[in-house]
Chains A and B, each alone.
Chain A
């Protein structure tokens, strides 16, 4: 049972344009959502997060939007740069209990084309 779904295994975007990565979730107990970026042979790097009580959080070129009613969030990167090419993981954190860890999606491989 995938609680966090990233249905696009890969996404190709031209440099300078907007990249939109999507994520759906099923667990209503998530109180935070996080986006991570991962390069090959490296660990995931934290990018940006959003609390479940907000609908938008912005940090530089990165903006995350949350639609709770649709259980959907998206990460916008604008403008896209070559260094943004990586795998992006969406993750949810459940409030209280459990192993207090993150539940990750399968990732979307973003490719920025020159």
Chain B
């Protein structure tokens, strides 16, 4: 039973398309996140969300939008995909907004390739 699961694992799409990546966690965590690992291997936070608040990293283009139908899900929608969006996207969750000693639990990643 995967704690944080993302689908799809691989996604190849053309420029200009709109796509979504789904994320679900069964840990009962309060907060979920989206991270992007770019070609230089840096893992950077894009969003954090709990049932009260969405916090957006200011560097994220507004073509990216998280959608949370409930506490266990945080999906990532991307409009008008660009070549530079190609990366691995990781979903994560934590028990408290601050992560703390428990760390953050990550999904296995979605490799997005825009052609």
- Which residues on A are within 8 Å of B, measured CB to CB? 32, 34, 36, 41-47, 49, 51, 89, 91, 93, 95, 98-104, 106-107
Contacts and interface: CB of A to CB of B under 8 A. Distances in A.
Interface residues of B, number: 31
Which of A42, A101, A103, A107 has the most CB atoms of chain B within a 10 A radius of its CB? A101
18 contacts: A32-B99, A34-B104, A43-B4, A43-B109, A44-B43, A46-B103, A46-B104, A49-B100, A93-B100, A99-B33, A99-B45, A99-B47, A100-B97, A101-B104, A102-B104, A104-B42, A106-B40, A107-B41
B108 A104 contact: no
B106 A44 contact: yes
Main secondary structure of the interface of A (DSSP, over half): strand
Interface in B58-98: 90, 92, 97-98
Given A43-B90, A99-B56, A100-B48, A93 B99 contact: yes
A46 B55 contact: no
Interface string B11-54: 00000000000000000000101010000111111111000000
Contacts of B108: 41-43
The 4 A-B pairs of least Cβ separation, nearest first, read A46-B103, A101-B45, A43-B106, A104-B43
Contacts of B44: 104
A99 B99 contact: no
A45 B105 CA distance: 7
Interface of B: 4, 31, 33, 35, 40-48, 55-57, 90, 92, 97-109
A99 B55 contact: yes
Which of A95, A100, A107 has the most CB atoms of chain B within a 10 A radius of its CB? A100
A98 B55 contact: yes
A35 to B, nearest CB: 9
Given A44-B90, A99-B56, A101-B45, A32 B40 contact: no
A33 B13 CA distance: 36
